[in-house]
Structures are given as C-alpha cells and as structure tokens.
C-alpha cells in the first residue's frame, strides 16, 4: 500500500515512511492510495472470528510488507488486549465502551499501535526518533503510556495549561523516562499550531528526526477503524444496522469509521457529535470549512476549532463519489445539554456517561426516529471528568483500582509560552 499527500506536492511513500514522517514534506496529510474492499463473506463470518483475527485482516493491507506477518500479528494483539464491550443502555441505544485500555480512553488503541510500529521501524537506527504531540486531554496520556520505555523513541507532549482534567494531567506528566510534558500557557489549537510549525522547520528537521503522534499520523488514525468492526461483531440484528454517533474533535475517529464503511461495513449513517466547537456543521451546510477559535467546554478532548482530519473526510467522499449529507450528519451539543444528559441517563437507566459520551448520546437521541437503533461511542471513563460528573449526578464517579496509584505520583512538567520560537529554542538547547 502506498500513501499520497493530500497536498499532492510530495512523493508517495509506504506505511513505514508515512509513520516515521507523520506529515508529508508539503504539509499534507497522508492518505491510502486505495481503500481495501472486504468480501461479503468476511462480514458473515466476522461474528465467529476473534477480535485479533478481525483486526489483523483489517490492518494487514494498510501495512503491506513493511512489517512481517508474525510481528504484525503480535503488534495487533498487544494493541487490543482489553475488552470493547457493547453495552445496552436502553431499548434503542447501545454504548460501545472504548475506555477499558490502560489510560481509560479510546486513544489507547491508536497510541499502542503506533508506538509498537514506530519502535519496530526505529530498531537498528542510529538516530533517535522524537515524537512531538499536542493533546487536548487524552492523547497525552495514551501516547505517554504507549511509548513509555520504547527504545530509540523520545516523546514530547504539549498540553494546554489548566484545560485538562486532573487524571488526564497526571497520566501525561508522571511517566518520566523517555516522556517529557510541556505545559503550554494557551489553548489546544496553540499547542497543535506549535507542533505543526516544528514539522515545517528546517533546523529542527536537520537536528531531530521528528514525527507526530496525533491522528494525522496514519499509524494512529487507521487502527481506529477497528472499533466499528468490533461493534458490528457484537451486533445481532442483521436486518437493522445501527446508526453510530461519534463524539468528535479532531475527526480522526469518525473519519476512520467512514473508512470502515467504505470498506463495506454496513453502517447506514454516522453522526458527528460535537460540542460548541462545531466547524463541521457549517461545512456540511455550506461546503466551506472555516476554522474557528477554540471554546473551552466540559468535553475538553473535543475542544478543537480547526480539525485536522476534515481534509481526509473530504477526500474520502470525493473518491467514494457519494454526497456527504447522505451518510454524515452533525449535531451540536451545549455544555448544559451535556450535563443534563449525564444526569437523565443516570437517573433513568443507571448508566453513567462521561461528558464526551454524553455529547454522543444526546446527538443520537436527537437524530433517531422510533424504529432506528443506534450505538454511541463511549470514548472515556467518567472518572477522568469528576467535576462535570458531580455537577450532573451530585457525586463523583468511583475511582477504578487501576488508576489509584496515579494519585500518589508527582506532576512533572516544563512551563512554556504558546510560541513556536520558544519551543524551537527549547528543543535545540537540550
Ligand atoms: C480525542 C477524544 C475525542 C475526539 O476524537 P477525535 O478523533 O479527535 O475526533 C472524543 N472523546 C474523547 C474522550 C477523546 O479523548
């Protein structure tokens, strides 16, 4: 499989080079030259296959011969070594719980896959690879956890000061070893812009082998397709396939879902569930994408005013030749609606949503008629957002045992102003 740059000013590359580079030299995002079509028999058998078998089948064509069969099987198995249960909330809505990984958010899958691929590609190399990543909340922890102790790879995480939750901050600032956290006095978009500038900088490129672990990196983006296959593996009603509502920020996850659909996965419609950072709504109505300033919300991992992956969604619809509006809807959900939703779903069904899942749930409820069933992606554990949960249900969520030890650790972060030149100086002076 080759990957082309969406700016079309750089040469095509294989999966290895796309992973190492992150972004193409012309600033474009990499995109697969073709989307593998799965046979109808695959979908019939999927229910009987293990999730490892399904995952390997889906990922293999995208990796091609850049990783041998045995290694890829091992990487895939390690990536998904926790459950992805589809849990009924009520008659109409199921929750696909994607928070059972080590950092309790769905980003573990992409981060685990990418870290293992990059570790494999970096073996026997003289030069260290430096992963530079901006986080709006959950990416930082997932990437820190995924890359911790990976030889030949150093990770630098930029996060917006005061805009991530306590658990999120502890997860990304307490690893030590090859992981460094930079606390930026600015927004997530500032962090993302600094990272993008770093990739464009000739001096940095010369001194450091820089790559990105944001969902612009194909090794993080592509494995997110697997959630949608795992959802349908557990779906029993073959006459009535579900609408899927995806809480969206940078649009990596939903774009991976659309890719799975283009491969043949029978999902009629996707809902891009957004908080008030909803540039996609305007895009779906007018066809024009205008980035906006980020607004802070209670679903902070979705506070993105200029989503990187929108460009991939546009490309996908172009090659598929279908109108976007037939498949993709968007719904904007306010903070008040989000908190209300956590509260009412907990009262009515005893199911505790996190703020991101609540955005997806509210959007799904708004879009579906009485006969339509739907799945919402529950992308993070509610314990990552105790303040909002407390506002909604009057008490904080129970802290799962796996993260208890986190509270004993000391935050370690370097303060930095939201300026690329400051970042550059710091990177070069170490
Ligand atoms: C990152 C994140 C999202 C948004 O995912 P995108 O791929 O950026 O659209 C939603 N929910 C949670 C909990 C997240 O961490």
Contact yes or no for 384/108 (Cβ under 8 A): no
Query: Is residue 129 classed exposed, middle or buried when 0-12, 13-18 and 19+ CB atoms within 10 A define those classes?
Result: buried
Q: Which residues of 403-428 are buried (b: 16+ CB within 10 A; e: fewer)?
A: beeeeeeeeebeebebbbeebbeebe
* Distance of alpha carbon 166 from alpha carbon 384, whole angstroms: 7
Residue ranges with strand state E in 57-161 = 86-88, 93-97, 129-134, 153-160
- Looking at residue 371, its pLDDT comes to 85
Centre of ligand 1 from the C-alpha of residue 203, in Å: 32
* Per-residue model confidence as pLDDT tens for the chain (430 residues): 999 999 999 999 999 999 998 889 898 999 999 999 999 999 989 989 999 999 999 999 999 999 999 999 999 999 999 999 999 999 999 999 999 999 999 999 999 999 999 999 988 888 889 999 999 888 999 999 999 999 889 999 999 999 998 999 999 999 999 999 999 999 988 998 999 899 889 999 889 989 888 888 999 999 999 999 999 999 999 889 999 999 999 999 999 999 999 999 999 999 999 999 999 888 888 888 888 888 999 999 999 888 989 999 999 999 988 877 789 999 999 999 999 999 999 999 999 999 999 999 999 999 988 889 999 999 999 999 999 999 999 999 999 988 899 999 999 999 999 999 999 999 999 8
> How remote is the CA of residue 191 from the centroid of ligand 1, in Å?
16
* Predicted structure pTM score: 0.94
Distance of alpha carbon 221 from alpha carbon 82, whole angstroms: 19
Q: Is the CB of 301 under 6 A from ligand 1?
A: yes
Hey, what domains does the chain have and what are their CATH numbers?
A: 83-105+221-393 (3.40.50.1100)
CB of 249 shorter than 6 A to ligand 1: yes
pLDDT of residue 205: 86
pLDDT score at 125: 83
97-107: pLDDT as tens digits: 999 999 999 99
What confidence score (pLDDT) does residue 260 get?
96
Give distance in angstroms: CA of 379 to centre of ligand 1: 7
* Cβ neighbour number for residue 205 with a 10 Å cutoff: 13
Burial label, 286 (beta-carbon count in 10 A; 0-12, 13-18, 19+): exposed
Please report the pLDDT score of residue 124 as a whole number.
81
* Test site for ligand 1: of 96, 98, 103, 106, most ligand atoms within 8 A of the Cβ: 106
Give the pLDDT score at 396: 92
Can you tell me whether residue 165 is helix, strand or coil? coil
Question: DSSP alpha helices (H): ranges in 218-278?
Answer: 218-221, 226-233, 252-262
How many residues are given for the chain? 430
Radius of gyration of the chain (CA): 20
Taking the centre of ligand 1 as the mean of its atom positions, its distance from the CA of residue 274, in whole angstroms, is 10
């Amino acid at each position: 499989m080759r990957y082309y740059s969406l700016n079309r000013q750089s040469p095509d590359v294989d999966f290895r080079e796309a992973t190492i580079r992150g972004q193409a030299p012309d600033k474009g995002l990499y995109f697969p030259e073709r989307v593998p079509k799965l046979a109808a028999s695959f979908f019939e058998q999927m229910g009987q296959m293990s999730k490892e078998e399904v995952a390997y089948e889906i990922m293999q064509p995208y990796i091609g011969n850049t990783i041998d069969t045995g290694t890829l099987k091992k990487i895939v198995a390690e990536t998904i070594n926790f459950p992805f249960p589809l849990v009924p909330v009520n008659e109409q809505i199921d929750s696909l719980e994607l928070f059972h990984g080590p950092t309790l958010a769905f980003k573990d899958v992409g981060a685990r896959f990418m870290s293992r691929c990059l570790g494999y590609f970096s073996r026997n190399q003289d030069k260290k690879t430096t992963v530079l990543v901006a986080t709006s909340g959950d990416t930082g922890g997932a990437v820190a956890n995924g890359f911790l102790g990976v030889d030949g790879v150093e990770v630098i995480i930029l996060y917006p000061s005061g805009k991530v939750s306590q658990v999120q901050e502890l997860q990304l600032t307490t690893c030590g070893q090859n992981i460094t956290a930079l606390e930026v006095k600015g927004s997530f978009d500032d962090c993302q812009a600094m990272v993008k500038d770093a990739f464009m900088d000739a001096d940095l490129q010369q001194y450091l082998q820089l790559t990105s672990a944001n969902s612009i990196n194909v090794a993080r983006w592509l494995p997110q397709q697997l959630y949608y296959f795992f959802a349908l593996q557990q779906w029993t009603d073959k006459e009535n396939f579900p609408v899927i509502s995806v809480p969206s920020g940078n649009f990596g996850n939903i774009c991976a879902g659309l890719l799975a659909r283009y491969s043949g996965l029978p999902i009629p419609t996707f809902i891009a569930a957004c908080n008030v950072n909803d540039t996609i709504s305007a895009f779906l109505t007018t066809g024009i994408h205008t980035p906006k300033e980020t607004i802070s919300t209670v679903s902070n991992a979705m506070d993105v005013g200029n989503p990187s992956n929108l460009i991939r969604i546009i490309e996908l619809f172009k090659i598929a030749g279908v109108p976007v509006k037939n498949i993709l809807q968007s719904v904007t959900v306010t903070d008040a609606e989000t908190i209300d939703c956590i509260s009412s779903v907990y009262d009515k069904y005893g199911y505790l949503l996190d703020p991101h899942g609540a955005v997806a749930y509210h959007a799904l409820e708004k879009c579906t008629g009485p006969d339509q069933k739907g799945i919402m992606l529950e992308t993070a554990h509610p314990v990552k957002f105790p303040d909002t949960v407390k506002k909604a249900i009057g008490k904080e969520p129970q802290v799962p045992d796996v993260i208890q030890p986190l509270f004993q650790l000391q935050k370690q972060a370097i303060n930095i102003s939201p300026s690329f030149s400051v970042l550059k100086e710091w990177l070069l002076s170490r």
